[in-house]
A and B are shown apart, each in its own frame.
Chain A
């Protein structure tokens, strides 16, 4: 069961990272933003939006399989560790500087996510005693 969660969350993180990077490329190529058909045509007229779609769909099926057993809040939190992989990739792909507020903000957010993950494992120690794990 533990391995199932670990593999599931890593897969979710990979799909989420693919989506975020693709979203950024898709959005940048569709500027300027407008609530118009022209903007939608620009968004769907280049390949990156489909990378985002693949990441979304992959994350969706991974997520629905995980949610069957995991409580929503902590599972959602665990899935959000992608902020770290996306931040690191952004330096390389988009030349985004690692500013002090971003590092401080990311540290607080990751610390918060770790707390939520710990809260989850405590909850699991309480919940998942004999016979609870079906798969």
Chain B
């Protein structure tokens, strides 16, 4: 694929923006939702609404919303959702570093398989 093609470079930039915004948004939501002191039900939602994490997550999602619409308008939907699966890999690696979630052997195999699939679609799709 020639790098000079303006449409495909735009697709690549939008794809990258989507990964970054999605990962940041998910991590912010995890920080908002995972607080054990937040209580239950309505009290939990009130607690989350008064802290920045929920709103940071929502801001990332608004940006991702627009980026994703633009991305999908340039690629076939089936290819777009497959390429978007790289978010799984990004979020698991980020979860490992920020929340200490374990990367067991099975998870590493899963990450490698998803990456392989995205690569196949990205290169040959």
Contacts of A115 in B (CB 8 A): 106-107, 109-110, 113
Contact of A94 among B65, B74, B76, B96 (CB under 8 A): B76
Residue of B nearest to A135 (CB): B40
Residue in A52, A119, A123 with the greatest tally of chain B CB atoms within 10 Å: A119
Summarize A's interface: helix, strand, loop or mixed: helix
* Chain B CB within 8 A of A83 CB: yes
Count class of interface residues, chain A: 35 or more
Alpha-carbon gap, A14 to B22, bound state (A): 19
Contacts of A104 in B (CB 8 A): 117, 120
Contacts of B120 in A (CB 8 A): 101, 104-105, 108
A33, B81: Cβ atoms closer than 8 Å: no
Alpha-carbon gap, A67 to B76, bound state (A): 30
B117, A107: Cβ atoms closer than 8 Å: yes
Can you name 6 extra interface pairs (CB under 8 A) apart from A27-B72, A80-B87, A111-B113? A43-B69, A64-B29, A105-B82, A105-B119, A109-B113, A113-B110
Alpha-carbon gap, A107 to B61, bound state (A): 28
* Chain A CB within 8 A of B12 CB: no
Contact with A along B1-26 (1 / 0, CB 8 A): 00000000010000000000000001
A23, B69: Cβ atoms closer than 8 Å: yes
Alpha-carbon gap, A109 to B85, bound state (A): 7
Count class of interface residues, chain B: 35 or more
A96, B88: Cβ atoms closer than 8 Å: no
Interface residues of B in 74-125 (CB under 8 A from A): 74, 76-82, 85, 87-88, 91-92, 95-96, 99, 101-102, 104, 106-107, 109-121, 123-125
Query: Shortest CB–CB separation between residue B115 and chain A, in angstroms?
Result: 8
Q: Can you report 23 residue pairs joining A to B where beta carbons are below 8 Å apart?
A: A20-B81, A27-B69, A27-B70, A40-B66, A63-B29, A67-B33, A72-B99, A77-B88, A77-B110, A80-B88, A86-B77, A87-B82, A90-B76, A94-B78, A101-B121, A109-B114, A111-B117, A112-B112, A112-B117, A116-B106, A116-B114, A119-B110, A122-B106
